[in-house]
Chain A
Amino acid sequence: MTTTRTKLPPSKHRYATVIHRLEAGGAMLPDTPENLMQIIGLYKAYAVPMDFYWRDLLYIAERVFLDPLPFFKYFLPGEYLERPNHYAGDTADLRIWRGGATAHPELRAFIERGESGKMPRLLHHLWHDRINMEFAEACMRAMLWHRGMGGRFDPYLDTDEYRANADRAIRAYFQGNPAMLALHRLFPEMFIEQVRQLSYYSNLGLFWEVMAPVFFEMSDLYDEGKLTSVPEAMNFLVNGIFAVAGRPIYHHAHIRGEIFEIVPKSKGFTWLYEAALPYVEAVFYRTAPFRGTKSYNAQAKQVPEDQQDFHFGILYADVFPVGTAGIPPTLLMQDMIHFLPPYLVDYYSKHCRGEQDTLIQLGIGFQRSMYCVTSAVIQALRSALFYPLDDPNPRHLEANRRFFELQIDRFNRPEARLLDIQRQDYR
């Protein structure tokens, strides 16, 4: 090995500093202790509700299934709270988090008491003092609605094989219910489409089942002083992505004790290609404008004509209106605020309006942390598809740079917050 690294001339990209940082193995987010504290604290605050999200998503996909009146779909039964995470605890397939495999203790305490104290779960639900599953469903719907973001999972939902699987499950589920069966016969596409949505429930649930222990472990490592910089945090994520890349993505429905493999594991769908990448694309980049926050003029092309040009995700989000209405990001912030580590509570109370606007500060911190996750995805793709950062071949480095520039080009839109997160006083 040569000791001097091959060097390219400086990039002429608008975000050249970010490109150079990525080429040096860094993240889009600058490496400062303050950034590290913010993102790790939020990973932890995110992981706790996420522990609920993935369990409930799978519960809905597997058990609630096509319940026409799913009033209690957010009432997670004990069985699902106890369901061991495949990446935490002693029974793990691959132990990422050293903690337990069942629902996180803070989550259980919150389900028990909420903000308003101990009372029956129904009252907590009606008082909206609970985990906002609506956020998880919004993410799922973003993936369902955008579709076609790579991977084999989505095309599979349109195959005859899938339709046959779904049809079998639908008939089994509505067995002895002539009204619903007649409806199925009358509108054969209706329930199939519902099952497609449920398959995405399963998809997202399986995706987040991995992310929750990853984030918990990062938080623990940080607390132990073993995670000391933003690139280290990012590399932990990159390794996590590779480690579980081959996890199967499937959709099984449990109907009267029988398991219906609507999307069987044997299709070979993987966590990385069929869940993680579409998720990042749909939720981080695209999503859709939230209702009730801002008026868009479609004639003035304020809403892109092509879905692939949508740019309403967290990487572009204007967090101010987000803090104002009952829209998905606000729901998530509201969930996260219950589980902030003490150092973040302290930190937020010292800035801007303190407790009054913690939600917004938290939202912007979350934006930072998601830029770090996106950086990890970009670095993982670079490593999977391109060349090592210290490759001696300038042609390879050139290819890496083209890849980075192409990725960063997506932040050339004026709405992108890439420039903002470079500053520490963006709160």
Chain B
Amino acid sequence: MLSVLVWLPIVAAVLVGFWPGLAAERARQTCLVVATALFGWSLWLVARFDPAQGGLQFAESIAWAAELGLYYRLGVDGVSLPLVVLNALLTWIALYSSPSGVKRPRLYFALMLLVNAGLTGGFVAQNLILFVLFYELGLIPLYLLIAIWGDSERRNYAAMKFLVYTAVSGVCILGAFLGIALAAGTSAALDYNASLTTALPLQAQLILLSLLLVGFGIKIPLFPLHTWLPDAYTEASPPVAILLGGVLAKLGTYGLLRFGLGLFPETWHLVAPGLASLGALTAAMGALAALAQKDIKRMVAYSSIGHMGYVLLAMAAATHLSLLGAVLQMVSHGLILAVLFHLVGVIESKVGTRDLDVLNGLMNPVRGLPLVSILLLVAGMASAGIPGLVGFIAEFLILQGSFPVFPVQTLLCVVCSGLTAVYFVILLSRTCFGRLDNATAYYPAVGWSERTPALILTVLILVFGLRPGWLTIWSEKTTGEMAASVNTPGPVARVASKIPQVRSIPLNPLSTLP
């Protein structure tokens, strides 16, 4: 079941890359068919998924190199399932919005599929080494995608920065995982076994968790490990940026949730206040930096940092509500960021600039990009957390769930959420409103092939904003169990007890939602 999601893109990538005499357009079509199949498959998984069950489903297990502790072990639960679907969807969107006229098309499309495989693998791998393998599998193709198909002269610099940062991140994670095996004294610990890791001494747990934090913190990214992101996002072509910001960043938060919180639930309490502060700081940094940008793509990139800060806060709080919010935020942020990057890409390709001081009046219905502007408006509102859109639900759950645990940090995040609205208003008013300049406005019309991806994503943003239940139902059980596991007193309960015991809020999060 899950293997199809992992291996189909790899096989297809090899075929697209090496099939003799494959035309560019044919390569793109093949990839689109594969992506459609993957998305369909992931939807079929959703249909078969039992939301009442919190644990792993569709598990597969084959011994690969058992002596190394490497098992081919896959499975999804309520946290990874939405991300798997999101990944399939955004891959389709990214492929669809890639023109067949890109240079070296076969390599490009093959790499895109490989990235998809790596990301899916990361989300479904239940063996630590297997996770690292998939984690690294996504890395090299992305480096190449930025370096070869990037936007400007700075792409090599950005790609190299991305590579160095993520390589360090990979090393940290691998180191942490090996450390786990070493400390536990058995390679069985590599098979995602929380009972072994929780038994480790507190100090060892702290070191290992910190290592994981650095590793995933780079990926998310957290302040101050974020400096690779604006360059990479900005230099990447829009389809690649969609995968980078929409899915790859989620691998960081997902990893932290799965391996940080999952493997070290009690130590988590120790670092939680710091993490929450870091999350709030990241949110503030992202929002303030976005405010200062003149380049709309960079602005969106920084907004992405800010939004990942909320996820960290939610994970630190680790209440039932906040964890659900965290998963929801990952999905909603993926959708919103994807549509933002796509629209920014369309604007850049039509207008030829991303400069806020140059852009103006795109809402003009005859010579502007009216539909693109309207969609950008909706996406901006969703990102700023306007009710009725999916961004609001996610942020509301996070803030509501985190406030009892970390009120100060949560309030700071509320302020940042307000700032999000501020910079999106700046972005929108400069870009979409105002007077379209006679002298410059000879932009080509936007075609339906460019509108379709944004329309699909916008519809999803609206639908999930109005019916968040359709999204939360898959994760509720799993996040509930995770929250419960964090609150179960263990050997380090002594430490945990110092934290106010207000975590288990007897509240069905969905009962308050439409």
Residues of A bordering B, CB below 8 Å: 294, 318-321, 323-324, 352-353, 356-357, 359-360, 417, 420, 425-427
10 further contact pairs, Cβ within 8 A, besides A321-B435, A360-B366 = A318-B438, A320-B367, A320-B441, A323-B366, A324-B364, A324-B365, A352-B367, A357-B366, A420-B438, A427-B442
B445 interface residue per 8 A CB criterion? yes
Residues of B bordering A, CB below 8 Å: 361, 364-367, 435-436, 438-439, 441-442, 444-445
Q: Please tell me if the beta carbons of A353 and B438 are within 8 angstroms of each other in the complex.
A: no
Label chain A's interface by main secondary structure.
loop
Give 25 A-B contacts (CB < 8 Å), ordered by A residue. A294-B435, A318-B435, A318-B438, A319-B438, A320-B366, A320-B367, A320-B435, A320-B438, A320-B441, A321-B364, A323-B365, A323-B366, A323-B367, A324-B364, A352-B367, A352-B442, A353-B366, A353-B367, A353-B445, A356-B366, A356-B445, A360-B366, A417-B438, A420-B438, A420-B439
Q: What is the bound-complex CA distance between A156 and B503, given in angstroms?
A: 87
Q: What is the bound-complex CA distance between A321 and B361, given in angstroms?
A: 10
B366 contacts across to A, CB distance below 8 A: 320, 323-324, 353, 356-357, 359-360
Q: What is the bound-complex CA distance between A357 and B367, given in angstroms?
A: 7
Q: What is the bound-complex CA distance between A323 and B361, given in angstroms?
A: 13
A352 contacts across to B, CB distance below 8 A: 367, 442
Q: What is the bound-complex CA distance between A47 and B438, given in angstroms?
A: 27
Chain A nearest CB, measured from B363 CB (Å): 9
Q: What is the bound-complex CA distance between A318 and B439, given in angstroms?
A: 10
- Which residue on chain B has the smallest CB distance to residue A427? B442
Q: What is the bound-complex CA distance between A318 and B367, given in angstroms?
A: 13
Label chain B's interface by main secondary structure.
loop
Q: What is the bound-complex CA distance between A356 and B369, given in angstroms?
A: 12
Chain A nearest CB, measured from B111 CB (Å): 35
- Which residue on chain A has the smallest CB distance to residue B436? A320
Q: Please tell me if the beta carbons of B367 and A360 are within 8 angstroms of each other in the complex.
A: yes
- Which residue on chain A has the smallest CB distance to residue B370? A324
- Which residue on chain B has the smallest CB distance to residue A317? B438
Most buried by B among A318, A320, A356: A320
The 9 A-B pairs with the shortest beta carbon distances in the complex, nearest first, are A323-B366, A353-B445, A320-B436, A357-B366, A360-B366, A324-B365, A357-B367, A320-B364, A320-B367
B438 contacts across to A, CB distance below 8 A: 318-320, 417, 420, 426
A353 contacts across to B, CB distance below 8 A: 366-367, 444-445
B436 contacts across to A, CB distance below 8 A: 320-321
Chain A nearest CB, measured from B445 CB (Å): 5
Q: What is the bound-complex CA distance between A360 and B366, given in angstroms?
A: 8
- Which residue on chain B has the smallest CB distance to residue A358? B366
- Which residue on chain B has the smallest CB distance to residue A351? B442
Q: What is the bound-complex CA distance between A81 and B392, given in angstroms?
A: 62
A426 contacts across to B, CB distance below 8 A: 438
A318 contacts across to B, CB distance below 8 A: 435, 438
Q: A352-B367, A356-B366, A360-B366 are in contact. Are A320 and B445 (CB under 8 A)?
A: no
Q: What is the bound-complex CA distance between A151 and B35, given in angstroms?
A: 75
Chain B nearest CB, measured from A411 CB (Å): 15
A320 contacts across to B, CB distance below 8 A: 361, 364, 366-367, 435-436, 438, 441
Chain B nearest CB, measured from A177 CB (Å): 46
Chain B nearest CB, measured from A424 CB (Å): 13
- Which residue on chain A has the smallest CB distance to residue B441? A320
Q: What is the bound-complex CA distance between A35 and B436, given in angstroms?
A: 24
A427 contacts across to B, CB distance below 8 A: 442
Chain A nearest CB, measured from B436 CB (Å): 5
Q: What is the bound-complex CA distance between A357 and B444, given in angstroms?
A: 11
Q: What is the bound-complex CA distance between A3 and B38, given in angstroms?
A: 86
Q: What is the bound-complex CA distance between A426 and B444, given in angstroms?
A: 15
Chain A nearest CB, measured from B327 CB (Å): 43
Chain A nearest CB, measured from B362 CB (Å): 11
Q: What is the bound-complex CA distance between A427 and B444, given in angstroms?
A: 14
A324 contacts across to B, CB distance below 8 A: 364-366
B361 contacts across to A, CB distance below 8 A: 320
Chain A nearest CB, measured from B330 CB (Å): 39
Chain B nearest CB, measured from A278 CB (Å): 28
Q: What is the bound-complex CA distance between A319 and B441, given in angstroms?
A: 11
Most buried by A among B366, B438, B442: B366
B445 contacts across to A, CB distance below 8 A: 353, 356
Most buried by A among B361, B438, B441, B442: B438
A319 contacts across to B, CB distance below 8 A: 438
- Which residue on chain B has the smallest CB distance to residue A352? B442
Q: What is the bound-complex CA distance between A318 and B438, given in angstroms?
A: 7
- Which residue on chain A has the smallest CB distance to residue B442? A352
Q: What is the bound-complex CA distance between A319 and B225, given in angstroms?
A: 49
Q: What is the bound-complex CA distance between A417 and B439, given in angstroms?
A: 10
- Which residue on chain B has the smallest CB distance to residue A322? B366
Q: What is the bound-complex CA distance between A321 and B438, given in angstroms?
A: 10
Chain A nearest CB, measured from B437 CB (Å): 8
- Which residue on chain B has the smallest CB distance to residue A419? B439
Chain B nearest CB, measured from A362 CB (Å): 11
Q: What is the bound-complex CA distance between A426 and B441, given in angstroms?
A: 10
Chain A nearest CB, measured from B61 CB (Å): 58
B364 contacts across to A, CB distance below 8 A: 320-321, 324
B365 contacts across to A, CB distance below 8 A: 323-324
Q: What is the bound-complex CA distance between A359 and B364, given in angstroms?
A: 13
Q: What is the bound-complex CA distance between A427 and B438, given in angstroms?
A: 9
Chain B nearest CB, measured from A315 CB (Å): 14
- Which residue on chain A has the smallest CB distance to residue B361? A320
- Which residue on chain B has the smallest CB distance to residue A330? B366
Most buried by B among A294, A319, A324, A426: A324
Chain B nearest CB, measured from A209 CB (Å): 33
Q: What is the bound-complex CA distance between A199 and B365, given in angstroms?
A: 38
Q: What is the bound-complex CA distance between A318 and B366, given in angstroms?
A: 13
- Which residue on chain B has the smallest CB distance to residue A359? B366
A359 contacts across to B, CB distance below 8 A: 366
Q: What is the bound-complex CA distance between A221 and B498, given in angstroms?
A: 96
Chain B nearest CB, measured from A132 CB (Å): 18
Chain A nearest CB, measured from B301 CB (Å): 31
Q: What is the bound-complex CA distance between A426 and B438, given in angstroms?
A: 8
A417 contacts across to B, CB distance below 8 A: 438
Q: What is the bound-complex CA distance between A420 and B441, given in angstroms?
A: 13
Q: What is the bound-complex CA distance between A294 and B433, given in angstroms?
A: 11
Q: What is the bound-complex CA distance between A425 and B439, given in angstroms?
A: 10
Q: What is the bound-complex CA distance between A357 and B366, given in angstroms?
A: 6
Q: What is the bound-complex CA distance between A283 and B365, given in angstroms?
A: 26
Chain B nearest CB, measured from A408 CB (Å): 20
Q: What is the bound-complex CA distance between A323 and B366, given in angstroms?
A: 7
Q: What is the bound-complex CA distance between A323 and B363, given in angstroms?
A: 13
